[in-house]
Amino acid sequence: MDEPDFTALNSLQITIVGLGLMGGSLALRLKRDALCRRVVALVRRPEAAVAAEARHAVDMATTDPALALADADVVIFSTPVRVLVSQVSTFAPFLKAGAIVTDVGSTKRRILAALDNLPPTVHPVGSHPMCGKETSGLAAADPALYDGATWVVAPLERTPPHAVETISLLARAVGAKPLPLLPARHDKLVAAISHLPYLLSAGLVRTVQQVADDDPMVWQVAASGFKDTSRLAASDVTMMLDILLTNADMVIAMLNRFGGELSAFVEALVAEDETRLRTMLMAAQTCRTELYPPEAT
């Protein structure tokens, strides 16, 4: 496959709204590799603008939407989902004709509904890079964050092909792999592979906390298994609340599916049905190993 021509991005001003982990990492990558003409950030607090410029993440950071958005060829919203939905309408008057507007939000249906209300002179396209960390904020930003990640691209019916191509090219330029998905399909899939695991991790920690109330020694015997499976519980709560509450129907469906799996395990254990337990565990082991083969030693 031929190498994409990233020079098509060279003439663009890219404005990123919000410089947390995702927006900050994107800004750092754009600046590091000189991928566009200018990187601008729209932030909420003056201190955030100072920090962004001090880290050389942007060419300019400002709290003024008119200053940040007036000349933007591409605008990328990188704020919590419910904040993002509100900002789309608030900042719409500042967008120039022909601007491409996208996002890096973790759910798509609510965001795309907001993007669809933008003026007909701008070109919205939803997107979601499938990467992240448990830590948040510009201090945690990493220009390599997007390397190898799948970057979902979710156009609307009104989205012109060149807008999809531009966002797909941007994804490739920062090391990601664009994948087209309809918004409802995206929200169903991420409920299974991202939102459900977070709730399982949080539920695990809460369960062990209850054990610790009776016997605090449990924390002293906890080892790598508990550490690994509880990792997601350390995620930013505000961010996860936005995700869960804007994808509640899909998350509830996945919780119900998982509840059925737990019930099956309970039934097998009550019946001391070793054959059934082995079959269930072997199926899970096989699936996990095929997805993530163990590294050769």
pLDDT on residue 297:
40
Tell me the mean pLDDT in the region 77-101.
Answer: 96
Residue 23 has pLDDT above 70, yes or no: yes
What are the chain's domains?
6-181 (3.40.50.720), 186-291 (1.10.3660.10)
pLDDT digits (tens, 9 = 90+) for 115-144: 999 999 999 999 999 998 877 888 889 999
Which residues contact residue 201 at a Cβ distance below 8 angstroms, ignoring those fewer than 6 apart?
A: 229, 230, 231, 232, 233
- What are residue 60's phi and psi, to 5 degrees? -155, 140
pLDDT digits (tens, 9 = 90+) for 47-76: 999 999 999 999 999 999 999 999 999 999
pLDDT on residue 139:
87
State pTM to two decimals: 0.91
pLDDT digits (tens, 9 = 90+) for 253-283: 999 999 999 999 999 999 999 999 999 999 9
Which amino acid appears at position 221 of this protein?
V
Residue 14 near residue 74, CB atoms below 8 Å: yes
Q: 């994409």: which residue's tokens?
A: 4
Tell me the mean pLDDT in the region 191-213.
Answer: 97
Residue 226 has pLDDT above 60, yes or no: yes
Residue 296 has pLDDT above 70, yes or no: no
